[in-house]
Amino acid sequence: MSFVPLKPTAIKERVAMVFLEYGQLDVIDGAFVLVDNSGVRTHIPVGSVACLMLEPGTRVSHAAVKLAAAVGTLLIWVGEAGVRLYAAGQPGGARSDRLLHQARMVLDPELRLKVVRKMYDLRFGEPAPQRRSIDQLRGIEGARVKSMYAGLAQQYGLVWRGRRYNPADWEAGDRANQCLSAANACLYGITEAAILAAGYAPAIGFLHSGKPLSFVYDIADIIKFETVVPVAFRIAAKKGLNPPERKVRQGCRDIFREQKVLQRLIPLIEEVLSAGGVDLPAPAPEAAPPAIPGPTIIGDIGHRSG
Amino acid sequence: MIVVITESVPPRLRGRLAIWLLEVRAGVYLGKVSKRVREMLWLQITKLAEDGNVVMAWSTNNESGFEFQTHGQNRRKPVDFDGLRLVAFTPMEDRKTS
């Protein structure tokens, strides 16, 4: 009997996400399986999904988490409407050169401004106004985003009182805000999977800071208004779809495919971080390469293989 | 690309499919046909399969890259996960009653 190791595949070759509810996630004959309480087994092609969203009512075995980690799939535990609670299974930090590069860009005020200006450019399709501080740019972005929300709400005939939501009291938010939260959760899930797969840290953000997913919000914001926000408003405007989460997820899945979001995310991250014009740090001259070279990878650079 | 997999279908259908497709293993057929031919094949399958069961899969431009449809009874049934189609495997009937 021979042993063939499992390897992660590239994020761009995967399906965006699968939401799982009610059942035990386990490994049967080496396959990732959701078993419900009547014994029905649903095979999940875990290695071909960027992130698995585990909803209330799921239990996960040790073997299942091990398999998800081996194939580089992010597990995200979510609560109501798919809003994220906790994630594991695809640890980041595998690439010290990427982490140091990202940290250097944030720590140097000049480089950080360049990156933030690049984000602005990519987000709005025009260069950021000259001689503005990051704080001023953040203010301009906030105002533009507010008017974009209001414009979309008007377009879909929705009453809009601003982006308001309370994670602790889900029902308090209005329908449009609930749809937005559900759609954002999908975008944040795949964005986090892409950031980890590219070898960067989700917590080290440029515009956002102080949160475990600061960089995820930075990157997701760039493409949010061309992907998930119109989907959320469109679903919110349809009456009689209660609860609307399923339709939101379907809509997100469709828009991710149409806009090739999984293919675009890692190049987008690289483009943003290259705005500073600084190369990846080279290893110290006396640094010795690993004694045992790692296996060749067919996935992304940040995936740990084996 | 199209794949047809048959289970306990009459030899008549097996032979019929082999007119257009390549039988690479018992009951497993491969080919590359247009949508129109695929629909003609499906019509033949539904008419000739009798008590057997068939699954047909073909490449499309959706997220999975393929689509599939089934005919007849099988313990594996297609399920929808928010727009992504997967397969659920039902346990044996006698286990359910115990």
pLDDT in tens, B29-81: 999 999 999 999 999 999 999 999 999 999 998 889 999 999 999 999 999 99
Alpha carbons within 13 A on the beta-carbon side of A145:
16
Q: Is the pLDDT of residue A306 over 80?
A: no
> Across the interface, do B88 and A41 touch by the CB < 8 Å criterion?
yes
pLDDT, residue A108, reads 95
Model confidence at A281: pLDDT above 70? yes
Q: What is the pLDDT of residues A34-45, one digit of tens each?
A: 999 999 999 999
Residues in chain A whose Cβ is within 8 Å of chain B: 15-16, 18-20, 38-45, 246, 249-250, 253-254, 256-257
pLDDT recorded at residue A94: 74
Name which of B63, B64, B92 to mutate to probe chain A: the one with the most chain A Cβ atoms within 10 A of its Cβ.
Answer: B63
Q: Is the pLDDT of residue B95 over 60?
A: no
* Mutate which: A51, A253, A263, vs B, most B CBs within 10 A: A253
Q: Phi first, then psi: what are they for B67, rounded to 5°?
A: -135, 155
Dihedral sign, Cα of residue A179, residue A182, residue A186, residue A192: positive
pLDDT attached to residue A92: 64
Task: Identify the pLDDT of residue A291.
Answer: 85
Return the pLDDT at A305: 64
Between A83 and A268, whose confidence is greater?
A268
Mutation for B interface: A9, A13, A15, most B CBs within 10 A: A15
**Contact B88/A16, CB-based, under 8 Å?**
no
With both helix axes pointing from N to C terminus, report the angle between A175-197 and A228-237 in degrees, rounded to the nearest 10: 150
Question: How far out from the chain centre does Cα A295 lie?
Answer: 27
pLDDT at A277: 87
Measured between alpha carbons, how far is A92 from A98 in angstroms, rounded to an integer? 11
Nearest to B89 among A16, A41, A250 (CB): A41
Angle in degrees, 0-180, between the axes of helices A175-197 and A214-224, rounded to the nearest 10: 120
pLDDT at B94: 63
- Contact across the interface for A16 and B89, Cβ inside 8 Å: no
Q: Do B63 and A253 touch (CB under 8 A)?
A: yes
Is the Cβ–Cβ distance between B85 and B78 less than 8 Å?
yes
pLDDT of residue A102: 94
Residues of B with CB under 8 A from a CB of A: 62-64, 79, 81-84, 86-91, 95-96
Asked if the Cβ–Cβ distance from B89 to A256 is below 8 Å, we say no
The answer on pLDDT for A270 being more than 90 is: yes
B82 pLDDT more than 60: yes
Contact yes or no for B31/B57 (Cβ under 8 A)? no
Does residue A286 carry a pLDDT above 90? no
Average pLDDT, rounded, for chain A: 90
pLDDT bracket for residue A295 (50, 70, 90): confident
Q: Among A76-80, A228-232, A300-304, which stretch is predicted with the lowest mean pLDDT?
A: A300-304
For A39, the closest of B79, B84, B95 (CB atoms) is B95
- The whole-angstrom separation of Cα A223 and Cα A212 is 20
Distance from CA of A15 to the nearest CA of B (A): 6
ipTM of the shown complex: 0.77
Query: pLDDT for A33-92, tens place per residue?
Result: 999 999 999 999 999 999 999 999 999 999 999 999 888 899 999 987 777 777 776 666
Contact B3, B29 (CB under 8 A): yes
pLDDT at A96: 85
- Whether residues A254 and B88 touch (CB distance < 8 A) is answered with no
Q: Which of A32, A41, A55 to mutate to test the interface with B (most CBs of B within 10 A)?
A: A41
- Tell me what pLDDT residue B98 has: 46
pLDDT for res B1: 94
Question: What is the average pLDDT across A129-156?
Answer: 93
* A40/B64 touch (CB, cutoff 8 Å), yes or no: no
B7-29 mean pLDDT: 94
Q: Measured between alpha carbons, how far is A169 from A205 in angstroms, rounded to an integer?
A: 27
Average pLDDT on A223-245 reads 90
Is the CB of A40 less than 8 angstroms away from the CB of B86? no
Beta strand B84-89 pairing with A41-43: antiparallel
Q: Are A55 and A227 in contact (CB under 8 A)?
A: no
For residue A5, give every residue at least 6 positions away whose Cβ sits within 8 Å of its Cβ, in sequence order, or none. Answer: A295, A305, A306
Q: What is the pLDDT of residues A154-191, one digit of tens each?
A: 999 999 988 888 777 767 678 899 899 999 999 999 99
Q: Which two tokens stand for residue A11?
A: 């994020």
Split at pLDDT 50, 70, 90, the class of A1 is confident
- Least confident stretch, A1-10, A31-40, A220-229, B44-53: A1-10
